[in-house]
Amino acid sequence: MIIAAADGSALGNPGPAGWAWYVDDGCWAAGGWPHATNNQAELTAVLELFRATAHLDDEVHVLCDSQYVINAVTRWMAGWKRKGWRKADGKPVMNVELLQQLDAVLAGRRYRFEWVKGHVGHTLNEAADARARAVAEAYRRGATSVPSGPGWTYDGPPSVPIQVDEIVEWPGDVEPDVDEGPDGAFEVASDDDDDALFVLDEPAEPWHALTIELSTEEYERLLQRARSEGVSPEDFLRGLI
């Protein structure tokens, strides 16, 4: 499952506007216009997320703070389409071009939306909002270029490469003594009371790369723990080893 936040920002609404979707700091995209509405930015963020992942079969879990977007996609769009993209009162649906593009890009996709309250510290939502607002601010300043992000950068769970002194392999005929920790995590039992999983000798060269495969949910928890300690995810992991 892909977990991503999608958000839009319009300064003045309408005014300089930006959209963004965000998975993590290495996988996000943003864009915008000199003049647009907030709803247009919110719809475009979701549209661009599904375009960026069109080559994948994963279910997309969209975190969104716009109830208009969620209702438009999950409740209203099918009826609008049957009525020739008109509302119950016969008036044309607003933002119809964006909605038609969304209808096309969602065909055959597996997805679900989750409403999250904006501006309350939700990590992914705040990251998407910051990037969308940065684009809107850039257009307000008349900048010739805006932050666009790296786009979609991987086709699976994020891998976090870290450097360790040596690669330690558990003997094949010995089962590790593990205890179940908070949130179902498992920790290697230690005779010490410190947080180390095991003790390494003094650093030796050359360094060896250790790649850890994490699910998106696990990586999100790692980012939160690292930020709470004021360190990078890599440094946080090194502190556990």
Point out the catalytic residue in the list 8, 18, 31, 32: 8
Distances from the Cα of 91 to the Cα of 97, 98, 209, angstroms: 15, 17, 60
**172 assigned to active site:** no
How far apart CA 89 and CA 156 sit, in angstroms, is 45
**Which tokens hold the place of 111?**
């997805």
Point out the catalytic residue in the list 18, 32, 48, 65: 65
How far apart CA 73 and CA 22 sit, in angstroms, is 19
Q: Which strand ranges, in their side-by-side order, compose the sheet holding 111-115?
A: 27-36, 15-24, 2-10, 60-64, 111-115
**155 assigned to active site:** no
**8 assigned to active site:** yes
**191 assigned to active site:** no
Point out the catalytic residue in the list 84, 89, 90, 119: 119
**7 assigned to active site:** yes
- The count of other CB atoms within 10 Å of the CB of residue 85 is 15
DSSP alpha helix (H) spans, 107-152 = 123-141
Point out the catalytic residue in the list 7, 31, 48, 149: 7
Point out the catalytic residue in the list 24, 31, 32, 42: 42
Distances from the Cα of 44 to the Cα of 51, 98, 154, 162, 209, angstroms: 10, 7, 21, 35, 39
Point out the catalytic residue in the list 32, 48, 129, 149: 129
**129 assigned to active site:** yes
Catalytic residue annotation: 7-8, 42, 65, 119, 129
